[in-house]
Amino acid sequence: MGKLLSVRDLKIEATSYPPGEPPRRISIVNGVSFDLEKGRVLGLIGESGAGKSTIGLAALAYGRGGVEITGGEVTLDGTDILKLGKSGIRGLRGRRICYVAQSAAAAFNPAHRLGDQVIEATLRHGLLSRDAARKRALDLFRMLGLPDPESFGRRYPHQVSGGQLQRAMTAMALCPKPDLIVFDEPTTALDVTTQIDVLAAIKHAIEETGTAALYITHDLAVVAQISDEIMVLRHGDMVEHGPVRQIIEQPVQDYTKALVNMRSIRHDEAPDQSGALLRMENISASYGDGVPVLHDISLHVPRGQTLAIVGESGSGKSTLARVATGLLPPSAGRIEFGGQVLPPARKARSRDDLRRLQLIYQMADTAMNPRQTVREIIGRPLTFYEGLRGSARVARVKELLDQIEMGSGFIDRYPAELSGGQKQRVAIARALAAKPELIICDEPTSALDPLVADGILKLLLRLQEEQGLSYIFITHDIAIVRAIADSVAVMHGGRLVRFGPKSRALAPPFDDYTDLLLKSVPELEIGWLERILATRRRESAGH
Amino acid sequence: MNRRSIPLTAWIGFAGILLAFICAIFAPWIAPYGETEIVGDVWQPADAQFLLGLDNLGRDLLSRLIYGARTTLFVALSATVLAFSVGIALSFIAAVSRGMIDMVLSRLNDLMMSIPTLILALVVLAVLPQSLTVLILVIAALETTRVFRLGRAVALDVAVMDFVEAAELRGEGKLWIVFREILPNTLSPLLAEFGLRFAFAILFVSTLSFLGLGIQPPTADWGGMVKDNKDGIIFGVSAALLPGAAIAALTICVNLVVDWLLRRTSSLKGGRGDG
């Protein structure tokens, strides 16, 4: 098989505008080279800012706003596509190279039917007649396992689920029978139980059509299922490039090893889980419209331990956190904290009640006032709860900064001057400043890169050991639950499906939902996807 | 902040505003003649003695322009400041409290806004005794409705952010949340609005004076001066254009400064982008 895509010494730069300073050129990709043969799949992996999406778009001869391809060549079947004129590129995109974006919801025009959008590029390039294109779309809908393929094309984007939309976008990319498809994190925004279906559909479609693909993701376990080769990127440099098996089983570079061996955190569950710092009994809750979001939930967290609440989006896990903090008073049930009944509404709680229960948000960006420095962000709870001022307050802020492993040099920074992981650490310091007994962590690591998230989890565990903190850790990631929890609560559709010590909750016999959830989490193992799909087929045949 | 980072346009704006304020404060010392002093013929053309010529009653135009800056600036500035103080306070209370308070304040505001401003001002000013205080209060009341609209919208935008919720969870009071958490994050649009409103206030005072309900003669003010001298245009006398040009120049200067302030606050460290 011949080379389809060849990237040589690709250099990409952008102009950054740091506040208060003159604009400066920054390099996003520094001389990356790779080849892709017909029908093969190359996985590009790396954390955010590694340049993987930028490289993916460069394969379409496209530079996102402000980004400029400054060197190297990208050849498709021997033609340097970076040297093509506008009309040349137009003949290429949507015909020979197609693109699948991360957020299909944002990529589809909400005012047009899916079927028309799927065949639009094909018609525009005059590749097929309208009837032939419709028929091809129908075949693709079938191939991708979409429900009611005959009528699917008549729906509007808001009428189908996120997973279906992502598959419709794959159909759109496959429709003109391109030589190459660039998949830019197609499953990142999906729940694990949906992700597995989309992954299976994409893999099946790639095999059926024989198209080559660049598959961009930050999840090594996902890319291991779909690619033939993997290229690891970091800060715009190629770290390691090789066949999937070599990267996963014998990584050479330290960075790759760290990625592969992540999730090395171990935390054995506490043997005695009888006492309760926070106890929620028969909690039901609804938002203003009266439609219940939580149904009769009872659970508890022992002092000094971690309760992980797991479930997919819409399962009510964040709502449960809002109930615990008093932001959403429950319609029924009671909350006990340290043996005493806690008033349901925040406004009825005393300052000390509020102090003892702190919350860490998923998005550290919006959880901190962008106009306050770290000094004020961490210092305010000190003044507010303890009346600390002046040098005593500064000393305590510095001490907290040391505890979160950042150091006092950060004290006058604004949130915008911190990285994602540092922001989350400052948010943890703000919670610690209140000297809480329980911290509710609402997906604090899901917006972070894997290695950074790892650091945050280790920090949380260390603080728990040193200060005897209790956590309620809300997440959709089973791997995190396994790593840090003492007890586990599984939520689905606003109900508590399962609750108990980790060893019992995550061991058979399972209920149907927990089983599905556990089996949908990609594992870093070649052939995992096939194995799971085969099991599913056997089970459904057996039933 | 260093001086070189201030663009030329902002300097021009500063210079213009400063000039207007110097005229306003030191009018009796700067002006070559008195405010109401008749010094020559009607619409006498400009010469070495009367740099800008004389007006419809033979008063010195330059002197009247200088004195006019006093009333125009004073009325416009105090009305705008008043409108912003009241408008921002009410709109932020509405945005933070929501529910009934928000409902009542917002609907009252809608009611005020549904009446054309000029007609409302004319009716109220015609009924009430004519004084500077009444004039300022009426303009401020009308401007407040616009400030309220914008203030509520930007405050709502910020009030739903997690850091405001975090402050509520900490147990902070309403005042802290409004002044320390929300206000600093809404400064950019509010500053821009301040510049616009100030310019509109100058125009509004001028309009009212032109219609005879604003500042009463013989006190000089720019809008009134346009009115006094408008008949001269028919005879080819440009006396009416000078106060008109002064209004335009001051409006532009204010907006040049506001443009710069807006860019500065939105590019501050920790700014929320080009709001």
The per-residue pLDDT string of chain B (275 residues; one tens digit each, 9 = 90 and over) reads 455 677 888 899 999 999 999 988 888 888 888 888 878 787 777 787 777 888 878 888 888 889 988 888 889 899 999 999 999 999 998 998 888 999 999 999 999 999 898 888 888 888 888 888 898 999 999 999 999 999 999 999 888 889 999 999 998 888 899 888 998 888 888 888 888 888 888 888 888 888 888 788 788 888 888 888 888 888 877 788 888 899 889 888 988 888 887 776 655 444 443 33
Instruction: Compute the nearest-CA separation of A466 from chain B (Å).
Output: 24
In chain B, positions 151-170, which contact chain A (CB-CB < 8 Å)? 161-163, 165-166, 168-170
Closest C-alpha to B82, from B46, B117, B132:
B132
Cross-chain residue pair A384–B166, CB shorter than 8 Å: no
d(CA A530, CA B172): 54
Cross-chain residue pair A354–B169, CB shorter than 8 Å: yes
Read off the pLDDT band of A20 (50, 70, 90). Answer: low
Instruction: Compute the nearest-CA separation of B46 from chain A (Å).
Output: 49
CATH number belonging to domain A3-260: 3.40.50.300
Q: What is the pLDDT of residue B272?
A: 40
Establish if A383 touches chain B: CB-CB under 8 angstroms.
Answer: no
Establish if B275 touches chain A: CB-CB under 8 angstroms.
Answer: no
Cross-chain residue pair A366–B161, CB shorter than 8 Å: yes
**Residue B56 contacts by C-beta under 8 Å, 6 or more apart in sequence?**
B42, B43, B228, B229, B231, B232, B239
Indicate the residue type of A326.
G
CB A307 within 8 A of CB A485: yes
Give the sheet arrangement for strand A292-301, strand by strand.
A292-301, A278-286, A332-337, A340-341
Residues of A in contact with B170 (CB under 8 A): 354, 380-381, 384, 434
Tokens of A291: 């439609």
Domain boundaries defined on chain A: 3-260, 278-507
Query: To which residue do tokens 């500065």 refer?
Result: B264
Establish if A20 touches chain B: CB-CB under 8 angstroms.
Answer: yes
Q: What is the pLDDT of residue A161?
A: 84
Cross-chain residue pair A361–B171, CB shorter than 8 Å: no
Closest C-alpha to A127, from A175, A172, A89, A161:
A175
Residues of A in contact with B161 (CB under 8 A): 366
3-state class (DSSP) for residue A489: strand
Tokens of A152: 């699917």
Nearest Cβ partner for B163 among A346, A368, A434: A368
* pLDDT tens profile A353-365: 999 999 999 888 8
Number of Cβ within 10 Å of residue A64's Cβ equals 12
Task: Walk me through the domains of chain B, giving residue ranges and CATH numbers.
Answer: 23-35+52-266 (1.10.3720.10)
Q: What is the pLDDT of residue B275?
A: 31
Read off the pLDDT band of A527 (50, 70, 90). Answer: confident
Instruction: Compute the nearest-CA separation of B103 from chain A (Å).
Output: 17
Cross-chain residue pair B162–A363, CB shorter than 8 Å: yes
Instruction: Compute the nearest-CA separation of A351 from chain B (Å).
Output: 6
Reply yes or no on whether the pLDDT at A135 is more than 90: yes
User: Per residue in B23-43, is it b (16+ CB within 10 Å) or e — as a string?
Assistant: bbeebeeebebebeeeeeeeb
Instruction: Compute the nearest-CA separation of A373 from chain B (Å).
Output: 9
Residues of A in contact with B181 (CB under 8 A): 369
CB A265 within 8 A of CB A458: yes
Residues of B in contact with A417 (CB under 8 A): 269-270
Cross-chain residue pair B270–A414, CB shorter than 8 Å: yes
Least confident of A132-141, A296-305, B262-271: B262-271
Closest C-alpha to A410, from A392, A423, A391, A393:
A423
The residue of chain B nearest to residue A347, with distances taken between CA atoms, is B171
Q: What is the pLDDT of residue B236?
A: 74
Cross-chain residue pair B172–A384, CB shorter than 8 Å: yes
Cross-chain residue pair B170–A384, CB shorter than 8 Å: yes
The interaxial angle of helices B61-97 and B8-25, nearest 10 deg, is 110
d(CA A429, CA A408): 12
Which class for A262: exposed (0-12), middle (13-18), buried (19 or more C-beta within 10 A)? middle
CB A232 within 8 A of CB A241: yes
Establish if B212 touches chain A: CB-CB under 8 angstroms.
Answer: no
Number of Cβ within 10 Å of residue B259's Cβ equals 17
Closest C-alpha to A184, from A267, A108, A121, A100:
A100
In chain A, positions 297-336, which contact chain B (CB-CB < 8 Å)? 325-327
Number of Cβ within 10 Å of residue A218's Cβ equals 18
Closest C-alpha to A4, from A55, A59, A45:
A59
Read off the pLDDT band of A106 (50, 70, 90). Answer: confident
Establish if B174 touches chain A: CB-CB under 8 angstroms.
Answer: no
Indicate the residue type of B240.
A
Cross-chain residue pair A367–B166, CB shorter than 8 Å: yes
Cross-chain residue pair B169–A359, CB shorter than 8 Å: yes
Reply yes or no on whether the pLDDT at A306 is more than 90: yes
Residues of A in contact with B184 (CB under 8 A): 369, 371-372
Residues of B in contact with A361 (CB under 8 A): 162, 166
More confident residue, A135 or A508: A135
d(CA B210, CA A127): 69
Q: Given this chain, do its domains A3-260 and A278-507 carry the same CATH topology? A: yes
Number of Cβ within 10 Å of residue B103's Cβ equals 12
Establish if B268 touches chain A: CB-CB under 8 angstroms.
Answer: yes
Task: Please report the number of interchain residue pairs, chain A to chain B, with beta-carbon separation below 8 angstroms.
Answer: 64
Pairing assessment for the beta strands A229-234 and A212-217 based on DSSP bridges: unpaired
How far the first Cα of chain B sits from its last, in Å, is: 20
Q: What is the pLDDT of residue B3?
A: 58
d(CA B181, CA A126): 56
Instruction: Compute the nearest-CA separation of A486 from chain B (Å).
Output: 26
Residues of B in contact with A348 (CB under 8 A): none
In chain B, positions 28-47, which contact chain A (CB-CB < 8 Å)? none
d(CA B229, CA B223): 10
Closest C-alpha to A3, from A78, A57, A56, A73:
A78
Q: What is the pLDDT of residue B33?
A: 83
d(CA A521, CA B181): 40
Establish if A370 touches chain B: CB-CB under 8 angstroms.
Answer: yes
d(CA B167, CA B182): 11
pTM: 0.78
| CATH architecture designation of domain A278-507 | 3-Layer(aba) Sandwich (3.40)
d(CA A283, CA A127): 58
Tokens of A204: 């099946």
CB A233 within 8 A of CB A50: yes
Cross-chain residue pair B170–A327, CB shorter than 8 Å: no
- Residues in chain A, overall count: 543
Reply yes or no on whether the pLDDT at A371 is more than 50: yes
Q: Kind and range of the H or E element at A238?
A: strand A237-243
Residues A241-253 have a mean pLDDT of 89
Cross-chain residue pair B162–A327, CB shorter than 8 Å: no
Establish if A429 touches chain B: CB-CB under 8 angstroms.
Answer: no
What does the longest C-alpha to C-alpha distance in chain A come to? 77
Residues of A in contact with B185 (CB under 8 A): 369-371
DSSP H helical ranges for B115-240: 117-127, 132-159, 162-170, 174-176, 187-210, 222-229
Residues of A in contact with B174 (CB under 8 A): none
3-state class (DSSP) for residue A328: coil
